Amino acid sequence: MQITLNVWRQAGPRALGRFERYTAKDVSPHMSFLEMLDVVNEELIEAGKDPIAFEHDCREGICGSCGMVINGVPHGPKPAITVCQLHMRSFNDGDEVWIEPWRAKAFPVIRDLVIDRSALDRIIEAGGYISVRSGSAPDANAIAVPKSIADTSMDAAACIGCGACVAACPNASAMLFTAAKVAHLSKLPQGQPERQQRVLNMVEQMESESFGYCTNHGACQTACPKEISIDFIAYLNRELLTATLLG
Domain boundaries, the chain: 3-111, 118-246
**Domains 3-111 and 118-246 equal at CATH topology level:** no
Instruction: Answer yes or no: are the C-beta atoms of 61 and 85 closer than 8 Å.
Output: yes
pLDDT in tens, 38-92: 999 999 999 999 999 999 999 999 999 999 999 999 999 999 999 999 999 999 9
Kindly report the pTM of this predicted structure. 0.94
Task: Please report, rounded to a whole number, the percentage of residues in the chain having pLDDT higher than 70.
Answer: 99
Pairing of strands 3-9, 96-100: parallel
pLDDT band at 132 (very low <50, low <70, confident <90, very high): confident
pLDDT band at 201 (very low <50, low <70, confident <90, very high): very high
Instruction: Answer yes or no: are the C-beta atoms of 32 and 76 closer than 8 Å.
Output: no
Q: Right CATH number for 118-246 from 3.40.50.300, 1.10.1060.10, 3.10.690.10, 3.90.1150.180?
A: 1.10.1060.10
CATH architecture of 3-111: Roll (3.10)
pLDDT band at 140 (very low <50, low <70, confident <90, very high): low
Integer Cα distance of 242 and 237 in angstroms: 9
pLDDT band at 143 (very low <50, low <70, confident <90, very high): confident
pLDDT in tens, 28-41: 999 999 999 999 99
The residue type at 26 = D
Among candidate residues 90, 104, 60, the one with its CA nearest the CA of residue 219: 104
- Mean pLDDT for all residues in the chain: 96
Pairing of strands 69-70, 73-74: antiparallel
Task: Please report, rounded to a whole number, the percentage of residues in the chain having pLDDT higher than 90.
Answer: 92
Instruction: Answer yes or no: is pLDDT of 167 > 70.
Output: yes
Judged by average pLDDT, the poorest of 155-164, 187-196, 216-225 is: 187-196
Instruction: Answer yes or no: is pLDDT of 157 > 80.
Output: yes
